[in-house]
């Protein structure tokens, strides 16, 4: 689980690269760190890779939406920096290794796995942002 | 009497800044509409894709349109934040259109972080990823150094306006080459961890996130365009790194 804390540095670095400034920098790093820890914690409790990514991406999106409203700035500011550590870069790399070592079967297995993992993250994000959309529309109608 | 042309230009300029700094489609359209409505336009339609902006509105019975071709430049989340705030504050502070244009121009000319901070950011980033992918301290330090070199290379390539496929291909190849050298020198524990952590720097995070958010909000054209961009970059990175492995005959 300690490995998850690496995500703090990773998100912080990306926030700098994307020119985020001030206290938002550290908020983004904080959200990224929580995402990383949740991901490893879920793996530790025996959940699969896909489910863990799904849970982590839900938590990250949710926190991003909450902090964006608290600090009055676009959701992307946090979501972008915090979701990147979850992207299955390892899967992409190992797929490529299988391809160049002429092991097409392995490449297909790993490739499909990677795509499924990416879909898990996407579904997590979609779920949260659709829910907040419905929620804010319902609020507007009441007012 | 509101100047129709000036309003069209101001709204398009705001949209352009947003789009070029990497905002989602719905935010771009929303901001342009909000600006026009705030200055008294009646019927407003705005349309944005990653490469083009369209706006059409009527004011005092006069019909006005503007088209702008845009290019995606560097990601700059703080610009998005500021333009967003500015467009929301027009109504509250009853700002004149001249004042609005002036402030917009000021935001546009704002400096990004200096290059050396960017390079340092890249180092922090890859250091973090090395730990995230269960690397040792040795791997992490190695990744930080290669990350810095890679960022320097990318900054130079941005300056001479490389095409993006080639840019990421070279980025992937350069990373792999450096990692192989590092492992031959015995500076790292696991070459796989090293390459993955540095390559994460090139991952098209913006394209992926925006593709998802655009698709959710129903902007399918932009969603598809950004998905294609993400796949394109991923293939370029894999190709570059695979090329080096093949040329050097494995490791």
Q: Cα B36 vs. chain centroid, distance in angstroms?
A: 26
Residue B2 pLDDT level (bands cut at 50, 70, 90): low
Cα Rg of chain A, angstroms: 17
Tell me the two tokens of residue B85. Answer: 């705030």
Residue in the block written with tokens 């690496």: A6
- Across the strands, what pairs with B54? B47, B67
Determine contact, residues B202/B147, Cβ cutoff 8 Å. Answer: no
The chain-wide mean pLDDT, for chain B, equals 86
CB pairs under 8 A between A and B: 164
Give me the tens of pLDDT residue by residue for chain A, a chain 143 residues long. 667 778 888 888 888 888 888 788 889 999 999 999 999 989 888 888 889 999 999 999 999 999 998 888 888 888 888 888 888 888 888 888 888 888 889 999 999 999 899 889 988 988 998 888 888 888 888 76
Question: A interface mutation test: which of B113, B154, B205 has the most A CBs within 10 A?
Answer: B205
Sequence ranges of the domains in chain A: 2-142
Distances (CA, A) of B168 to B60, B151, B162, B248: 50, 12, 10, 20
Asked if the C-beta of A97 comes within 8 angstroms of chain B's C-beta atoms, the answer is: yes
Reported ipTM: the value is 0.84
Determine contact, residues B102/B11, Cβ cutoff 8 Å. Answer: no
Strand order of the sheet with strand B52-59? B44-49, B52-59, B62-69
pLDDT at A110: 92
pLDDT at A64: 92
- For residue A95, the chain B residue with the least C-alpha distance is B238
Helices in B133-219 by DSSP H: which ranges?
137-159, 164-184, 191-199, 205-216
Distance in angstroms (rounded) separating the CA atoms of residues B206 and B192: 24
CA distance B104 to chain A (A): 17
Distance in angstroms (rounded) separating the CA atoms of residues B211 and B19: 14
Could you report the per-residue pLDDT of B79-123, keeping only the tens digit for each?
888 898 888 888 777 778 888 888 888 888 887 788 888 888 888
pLDDT at A1: 64
Percentage of the residues of chain B whose pLDDT score is greater than 70: 98
Task: Give the mean pLDDT of B151-157.
Answer: 88
Tell me the two tokens of residue B81. Answer: 């934040």
Residue B251 has pLDDT above 70, yes or no: no
Residue B129 pLDDT level (bands cut at 50, 70, 90): confident
Nearest CA to B190 among B199, B200, B180? B180
CA distance B71 to chain A (A): 17
Nearest CA to A90 among B234, B46, B157? B234
Tell me the two tokens of residue A66. Answer: 């909450």
Q: Which residues contact A53 (CB under 8 A, 6 or more apart)?
A: A39, A86, A88, A117, A120, A121, A124
Asked if the C-beta of A68 comes within 8 angstroms of chain B's C-beta atoms, the answer is: no
Residue B3 has pLDDT above 80, yes or no: no
Residue B169 pLDDT level (bands cut at 50, 70, 90): very high
Residue A88, classed as helix, strand or coil, is coil
Distance in angstroms (rounded) separating the CA atoms of residues B22 and A42: 32
Nearest CA to B112 among B22, B242, B28, B1? B22
Residue B1 has pLDDT above 60, yes or no: no
pLDDT at A89: 82
């Amino acid at each position: 689980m300690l490995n998850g804390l690496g995500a703090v540095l990773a998100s912080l670095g990306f926030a700098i690269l994307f020119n985020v400034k001030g206290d938002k920098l550290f908020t983004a790093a904080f959200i990224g760190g929580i995402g990383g820890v949740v991901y490893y914690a879920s793996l530790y409790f025996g959940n699969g890779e896909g489910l863990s990514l799904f849970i982590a991406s839900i938590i990250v999106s949710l926190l991003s939406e909450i902090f964006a409203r608290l600090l009055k700035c676009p959701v992307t500011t946090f979501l972008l920096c915090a979701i990147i550590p979850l992207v299955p870069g390892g899967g992409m790399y190992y797929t490529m290794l299988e391809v160049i070592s002429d092991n097409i079967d392995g490449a297909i297995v790993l490739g499909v796995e990677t795509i499924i993992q990416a879909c898990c993250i996407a579904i997590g994000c979609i779920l949260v942002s659709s829910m907040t959309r419905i929620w804010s529309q319902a609020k507007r109608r009441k007012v | 009497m509101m100047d129709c042309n000036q309003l069209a230009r101001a709204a398009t300029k705001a949209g352009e800044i947003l789009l070029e700094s990497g905002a989602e489609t719905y935010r771009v359209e929303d901001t342009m509409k909000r600006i026009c409505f705030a200055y008294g336009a009646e019927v407003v339609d705005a349309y944005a894709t990653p490469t083009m902006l369209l706006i059409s509105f009527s004011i005092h019975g006069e019909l006005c349109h503007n088209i702008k071709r845009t290019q995606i430049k560097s990601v700059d989340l703080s610009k998005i934040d500021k333009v967003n705030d500015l467009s929301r504050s027009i109504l509250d502070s009853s700002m004149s259109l001249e004042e609005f244009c002036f402030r917009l121009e000021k935001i546009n000319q704002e400096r990004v972080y200096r290059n050396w901070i960017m390079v340092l950011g890249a180092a922090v980033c890859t250091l973090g990823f090395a730990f995230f992918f269960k690397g040792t301290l040795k791997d992490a330090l190695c990744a930080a150094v290669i990350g810095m070199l890679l960022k320097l290379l990318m900054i130079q390539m941005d300056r001479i306006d490389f095409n993006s496929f080639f840019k990421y291909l070279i980025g992937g190849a350069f990373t792999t080459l450096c990692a192989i050298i590092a492992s031959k020198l015995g500076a790292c524990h696991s070459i796989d961890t090293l390459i993955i952590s540095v390559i994460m720097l090139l991952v098209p995070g913006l394209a992926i996130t925006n593709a998802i958010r655009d698709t959710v909000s129903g902007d399918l054209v932009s969603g598809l365009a950004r998905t294609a961009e993400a796949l394109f970059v991923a293939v370029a990175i894999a190709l570059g790194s695979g090329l080096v492995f093949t040329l050097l005959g494995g490791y």
